[in-house]
């Protein structure tokens, strides 16, 4: 579903960044910790400013305080348009809303619960069907 949305936006000239939560958070932290910050490869600004950010597999990343802080900053900046432009975010996860509150701190859970439309998808995993 996320890929279809991304493709349509790309066709309409919008910018899209699709990444798994573990890779996204590691990339942002690596960039912020690096002394050689190449402006043409600024993953952090891309994450904050892209028209559509798709965070896939939220909940599969190993957490620490730095990753929690970066996830909060990313979500909060995009929700409140602190980047001075309207940006949208899609989050896919196998966690339910209670798991999100248990897995992440309350300020992250409350933003996801309060600012995102939550849709549950049911049915067989398509990846298993491809194996048959």
| Residue ranges for the chain with pLDDT beneath 70 | 35-41, 130-132
> What are the structural domains, with CATH classification, of the chain?
2-131 (3.40.50.300)
- Mean pLDDT (the chain) is 90
The pLDDT of residue 36 is 66
Report the predicted TM-score, pTM, of the whole model to 2 decimal places: 0.88
pLDDT, tens digit, 9 for 90 and up, residues 3-33: 999 999 999 999 999 999 999 999 999 988 8
What pLDDT is stored for residue 130 in this prediction? Answer: 66
- Report which secondary-structure segment, H or E, holds 109: helix 106-115
Supply the pLDDT for residue 35.
67
pLDDT of amino acid 118? 93
44 near 32, Cβ under 8 Å? Answer: yes
pLDDT at residue number 129: 72
The whole-angstrom separation of Cα 105 and Cα 112 is 11
Structural tokens at position 17: 């960044």
By residue count, the chain amounts to: 132
- The pLDDT > 70 percentage for the chain reads 92
């Amino acid at each position: 579903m996320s890929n279809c949305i991304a493709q349509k936006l790309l066709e309409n000239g919008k910018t899209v960044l699709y990444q798994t939560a573990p890779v996204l958070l590691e990339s942002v932290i690596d960039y912020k910790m690096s002394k050689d910050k190449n402006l043409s490869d600024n993953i952090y600004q891309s994450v904050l400013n892209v028209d559509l950010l798709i965070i896939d597999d939220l909940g599969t990343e190993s957490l620490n305080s730095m990753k929690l802080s970066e996830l909060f900053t990313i979500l909060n900046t995009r929700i409140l348009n602190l980047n001075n432009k309207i940006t949208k975010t899609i989050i896919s996860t196998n966690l339910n809303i209670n798991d999100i509150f248990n897995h992440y701190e309350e300020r992250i859970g409350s933003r996801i619960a309060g600012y995102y439309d939550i849709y549950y998808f049911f049915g067989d995993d398509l990846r298993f069907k491809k194996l048959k």
